[in-house]
Amino acid sequence: MASYPVTVYRWDDPGAPQLDNGKISSFFNILHKCLVEGYGDKVPLGWTRSFYDPTNFKAAWRNNVAAGGSGGSAYFYSNTNTDVNNTVIRLTSCKSISELGVVTGQGRLTAARFDMATNTGKWVLIGTSIGFYFYSFGSNINANGNGLVNNSENRPSFYAGDIFSVIPTDAGKFVMFHEITSAGDNSNPQSLRNLNNINNTAYSSGAAITLWDADNFNSFQTYGYASVAMQSPGSGNIIAANAHPLIFHNVSIASTASFNFPNQSSPTDRLGIPIRDSLIRPALRGVLPGLLVTYSNFGHGEILPLVKLQAGVNYHGIPNPNSAGSCSALIQASGDWYDPFN
């Protein structure tokens, strides 16, 4: 079983780079330090910068092929080619990007912004050689006493990297998992559409993710996600962060097209194979590495970052945009991410 050691980077590490008034240049600096250069006593994840245009504020980073990555890139750029405060940042994935910025196999294109008017920007990046999670939050405590994200602010959170695919040789498994409550490209940042909204939604039938065919053909399929039916935050089923063990479930990547039992009709892939049986565009494509959900919420009223220690492993609760503030989605933040299919 392939494994990928996890490293955690935080805004309060010695020598850590900081967000500067929501500028994309400071966001780029954080990514580059965590992925490529390191800082203080933190070693980088071993990625490379595959494209950089400092004049127009565009940059992409490629995961580590030698350490098990697909070679896909996470691509970010300023929506206005400027470095203004609270820059609107566009996010996407691609199978490759040239030194001149020519993209091949682009994924879904979304938008994010750091609102810095009222709070100090804090950030956490949790990652491996193949993928990383990024989340951010402010220093204020909202009206009901929660130290979690205020739902009126844009605080980007996303996953960039390979999924654990049911097809280990999957050439299209690099994704940007960000705006999970809508479908299609979007240029308007929304505070409630980030990765943290997985706390409130058990599945997405919309096209939250674009995945290119596993055999590297120039064709793609849209996918959503599926997890467990989670308890609504604030409704009473809330547990303190380290009160007792939680039961974890993976988040699966599932086709937005319906797929049925073997004796019923089913959509097909480009070769005419039902997607339930497809080896190039399977209905159930895989799982998101290191991302877990639990039916029981926890952490109501606690200050971020919210860390759950269980069986010697740390998990970070993903900030919840819901005003109730408790978490039911977590990122594994120590040990290794294990690929169950490879």
β-bridge partners, 332: 315
pLDDT of residue 137: 79
pLDDT of residue 305: 85
Which runs of E-coded beta strand occur in 155-268? Answer: 157-162, 164-165, 174-177, 203-212, 220-226, 238-239, 249-255
Burial 165-199 (b: 16+ CB within 10 A, else e): bbbeebbbbbbbbbbbbbbebbeebbbebbbbbbb
What would the two tokens of residue 242 be?
């380290």
What would the two tokens of residue 137 be?
């939050």
How many whole angstroms from its chain centre is CA 6? 15
Spatial separation of the C-alpha atoms in residues 287 and 21, rounded to whole Å: 35
| Side-chain-facing half-sphere of 256: CA atoms under 13 Å | 17
116 to 19, 84, 191, 301: CA distances (angstroms): 9, 12, 13, 22
pLDDT tens for the 342 residues of the chain, in order: 899 999 999 999 999 999 888 899 999 999 999 999 999 999 999 999 999 999 999 999 999 999 999 999 999 999 999 999 888 999 999 999 999 999 999 999 999 988 765 555 789 999 999 999 999 877 654 433 344 444 456 778 899 999 999 998 999 999 999 887 677 777 777 766 677 777 666 666 567 899 999 999 999 999 988 876 454 444 445 555 566 788 888 999 988 776 555 555 678 899 999 888 899 999 999 999 999 988 777 776 677 788 889 999 999 988 776 645 577 889 999 999 999 999
pLDDT of residue 184: 73
pLDDT of residue 246: 84
Other C-beta atoms closer than 10 Å to the C-beta of 291 total: 25
What would the two tokens of residue 292 be?
């877990």
pTM (global) more than 0.75? yes
Spatial separation of the C-alpha atoms in residues 151 and 200, rounded to whole Å: 13
Which phi and psi (to 5°) does residue 335 adopt? 70, -145
Helix/strand/coil for 134 = strand
Spatial separation of the C-alpha atoms in residues 35 and 57, rounded to whole Å: 18
Angle (CA) 277-281-287 rounded to 5° is 95
Report DSSP letters for 44-110, one per residue: P---EEEEEETTTTEEEEE--GGGT----EEEEEETTSS--TT--EEEEEEEEE-TT--EEEE---E
Spatial separation of the C-alpha atoms in residues 216 and 171, rounded to whole Å: 5
Which runs of E-coded beta strand occur in 227-273? Answer: 238-239, 249-255
Other C-beta atoms closer than 10 Å to the C-beta of 260 total: 12
77 neighbors 153 (Cβ within 8 angstroms): no
What would the two tokens of residue 61 be?
């980073």
pLDDT of residue 261: 53
Angle (CA) 106-107-109 rounded to 5° is 105
Spatial separation of the C-alpha atoms in residues 255 and 289, rounded to whole Å: 18
Spatial separation of the C-alpha atoms in residues 8 and 15, rounded to whole Å: 14
Spatial separation of the C-alpha atoms in residues 310 and 91, rounded to whole Å: 33
